[in-house]
Each structure stands twice: as C-alpha cells, then as structure tokens.
Amino acid sequence: MASQGGPTAGEYIVHHLGHLQNHKPSNVVDFTVFNYDSMFWAISLGILGCWVLWAAARKATSGVPGRFQAAVEILVEMVDAQAKGIVHSAESRKFVAPLALTVFVWIFLMNAMDLLPVDLIPAIWHGVAPAIGAKDYMRVVPTADLSVTMGLSVAVLLVCLYYNIKIKGMGGWVHELFTAPFGSHPVLWPFNFMMQIIEFVAKTVSHGMRLFGNMYAGELIFMLIALMGGAWSLSATGIGLAIGHIIAGSAWAIFHILIITLQAFVFMMLTLVYVGQAHDSH
C-alpha cells in the first residue's frame, strides 16, 4: 500500500487506534488526558439508551403489546429475574435492577458501534476536522477504550462500597475487612485486610479489562478485514482479496453480534454478583 502513496497497514491501524484527545499521555496512567471521542459517543449512546427505555415506558399499554414494547418487556423481565436471584433485598433491587438494565443497554449500544464500517465515521470526521481546527482522530467504540471500561468498573466498585456500608454499617464493614476470610484473631487482621483489598482491586480490574480486551480485539479484527479490501482496491489483480474481504467481514459481523451482546450481559451479571456479595456477611 505504501508504494501506491497510501499509508502502510501498520500506519493505517495506528491511526485508527488514535484518540481525539486534549494531549498525549505522559505516563501509562495520566488522569489529565481526556479522550473526547470516547466521551462523546459514550454520552450520546447513554442518552439514546435512556430515550429508548423511556419511549417504551411511555408507549406501554395493558393490551397486546407491539413488537418494540414486547422486546423491551422481555429484556426488563430477564434483568429483573437475574436481580431477584442474586440480590435478595427487595429494597436494594429498586435501585440495582434498573441500574443493571441501564448497564446492559448502554454497554450493548457502545459495543454495537463496532458493527459500523471501520472507515465510515472516521472518513466523515476527516472532512469535518480541518474545518473546525480539530485533530484528525476519531474512534467510535467507547468500550474499546480502557479508560471507559475502567470508569464503568470503578463506578460499580463505588456502588458495592455503598451497599457494604448501608447493609452492614460502617462498623460492621470495617470489622469484616479485618476478620474475614481467615478469622478474628488479631494476628490475622493484616492478612485479612490485605486479602480484602486485593479482592476489591482484582474484581474491579478484571471487570473493566474483560470488556475492554474483547472489544479491542474485535475492533482490530475489523481493521484487518478492512485492510483486505484496501489491498484489493489498490492492486490490479487479487480478486480473492475482495471475496475474502466480503466473506470474512460478513462472517465476523454476524459472530460479533453474539460477542457484543454476551459482553454486555457478562458485565451486567458481574455487576449484580458484586452488588449481591456486598449484601452478604462473611
């Protein structure tokens, strides 16, 4: 591709993995960096998800439901059933069940952005960015951004800490931090506390990393498939590349529908599990 004046495969992928951000990170962890593209798409899709649920509730009827209402009702009943099986406090479920539903819909919509053609929105932004003086970077899958998925998992951690204190009381939770899982002997307090902290950190990191890893890998595969089409368009022969591009793209998109749904479901279920654990005493 480079010989034709275009970017190499590596340059193409690196560019598509770049974020529209205020500045480049100076360290591995830099909290002063804001990925504007991830923020825009995450917020926009969150608003869209809330609007879809609101529209379903507003149009709900007691008679025979339409397809849209029936689909939303099935989703709500599924989430409510899972919440009842994991979080046994009816009072807590008034908040936790809607939270789980919102998490599922929101993450599903963010994941679904991966089904758009790889170069569609970046190409549109390529024409808009110079006119407004912005940088020519635009990633459209928020869940392929580690800062987004870790932000979601940290939010779940804060909810868990809230319910730990609400259900057990501050004194009861602190007592649990130092007496579980090995026992209440004073010699074991440091080990218990260390294990509790490790558990909270491990659950939070794995919660965010699992979603990020799957969506990042899916995004890369779509880019590689797009490169097959690009290689064909820049060559006089190679019809096999065009056929492979169509077959691989279609097959991966169909399979990816399962992945984006499954990852949203897994994140929602782990949210319910972690909140449910916060209600249990060791």
Question: Which among 196, 253, 201 has a CA at the least distance from the CA of 222?
Answer: 253
List CB contacts of 95: < 8 A, sequence separation 6 or more: none
Instruction: Report the 10 Å Cβ neighbour count for 73.
Output: 13
Is 192 catalytic? The answer is no
At 184, phi and psi to the nearest 5?
-100, 5
- Catalytic: which of 206, 235, 250, 281? 206
Question: Which among 37, 270, 35, 43 has a CA at the least distance from the CA of 147?
Answer: 35
CB 263 within 8 A of CB 216: no
Is 27 catalytic? The answer is no
Helices (H), 133-188: 146-179
Question: Which among 110, 89, 95, 104 has a CA at the least distance from the CA of 43?
Answer: 110
Is 206 catalytic? The answer is yes
Per DSSP, the three-state class of 252 is helix
Half-sphere exposure of residue 151, counting CA atoms within 13 Å on the CB side? 15
- Catalytic: which of 111, 147, 164, 214? 214
Query: Could you list the active site residues?
Result: 206, 210, 214
